[in-house]
Structure 1
């Protein structure tokens, strides 16, 4: 376990600056990096705590503000109806090309970061689960950990609600981990089965876990939080990253 240094950096994109929050193990040296994509609410308290917990295991964790072209730097949406409405609005307002550009900017920045070994994985929850999966199309990403990723089965991410993530998933070279809640209304059984079938059809190796849990069961605020499963999922994630980034 390691103590941490927290900071943020504003990176240039074609759509304006993107604030990236970093959680770095103290003591110097180089570490594998994990790009951690948040829910639609951006870098909330629960997201920061998840990032810090991962960094405490020896990873350089970078958490981008995904709605940087729409909101002021540092914007955090509340876990209420207004925050949910705004987050969902922006999820479909942002161009798919902008999501992909963000990944490219992050990867190039991390590859030159003094605390990074050059090995990079992506990880995410909810919207971030989908973004972590798309990040795997980038040659600089060697592993993706997708926790209850939304809009993959429906192919509705981004402006126009017409993404190609599932269609292209067979071309993804990164190692893959998927974690789902079986009682998640956002990704019903038919949706999970569609994704699973596409992966099998593509002949891809992947890791797949389903738990009796609701959507956002890793978020340590609100009634859906399942702390026992959160501990199990952290163990699964750490073992996966340890193997993928060794």
Structure 2
């Protein structure tokens, strides 16, 4: 098993300083970069373990606290095991930070994250991959459409509202994407109903994007997150295979 080195770093952005988790193989050589977008609960031990697993497969992985404008991670206090049904105040406390992260601000930040990765001696010169979870899946999709010359692979899992009827819905960037795309949806996810899954699929197909979308039967929103009540071990294993296969092909 590849040993990895993880650390907390600060990344200057146009709007301030984002704290982030950086992890990479502990071998002293550069590796392809992966921009890893958090779910709403944000940077915490489980998410850094996930990033370490990607790094162990041979990548330099950056996990920014995308809600840094509201404080360093954790932005709100989190229990070791997150069950929103029992702790509804967690989402209530997170909602202002989530709602204030406009697409424009998020993509300004993405430019800073990509520039940092490009300048780092820990990364190779080629394009990056990006993966995202829950709200992060939308950020990954926007990043691939906003910086198509920088992103060669994008994965998103249990993404929320990726193809809504909003005028700034992420799927409307499909015609700008040059990356290979994979989405793993949960069929028990009210934040990504069948009509949005179909709309996203149709947009990617019409744009000629190389892509694959799959619906994980029986899975709920958040199925990859082992420290939450939504975790589904089988679906999470399936996600790992899909993600690492995509990164291996594209990067």
With normalisation by structure 2, the TM-score equals 0.90
SS at match of 2:10: strand
Distance 1:214 1:171 in 2: 30
Structure 1: stretches of 5+ with no match in the other structure: 157-161
SS in 2 for 1:210: strand
Instruction: Say how many residue pairs are matched.
Output: 239
Question: What secondary structure, in the 3-state scheme, does the structure 2 residue paired with 1:31 have?
Answer: coil
Is structure 2 residue 148 aligned with structure 1 residue 142?
A: no
Once residues 140 and 204 of structure 1 are traced to their aligned partners in structure 2, the CA distance between those partners, rounded to angstroms, is: 16
C-alpha RMSD over aligned residues? 1.5
Whether 1:82 and 2:89 are equivalent positions in the alignment is yes
- The match for 2:181 is 176
* 1:107/1:217 CA distance change after superposition, 3 Å: same
Q: Residue 103 of structure 1 corresponds to which residue in structure 2?
A: 110
After TM superposition, give the deviation of residue 24 of structure 1 in Å.
Answer: 1.2
Residue of structure 2 aligned with 1:199, choices 198, 204, 211: 204
* 4+ long deviations beyond 3 Å: none
Any stretches of 5+ residues in structure 2 without a counterpart? none
What secondary structure sits across from 1:19 in the alignment?
A: strand
Give 1:225's aligned residue. 231
- Aligned residues of 2:35 and 2:61 also touching (Cα < 8 A): yes
Contact 2:158–2:185 (Cα < 8 Å) also in 1: yes
Q: Give CA deviations for 1:209-245 in whole Å, capped at 9, x if unaligned.
A: 1111111011102332111221121111111100000
Q: Tell me how far 1:130 sits from its aligned partner.
A: 0.7
User: Secondary structure, in 3 states, of the residue corresponding to 1:118?
Assistant: coil
Query: Is 1:126 equivalent to 2:128 in the alignment?
Result: no
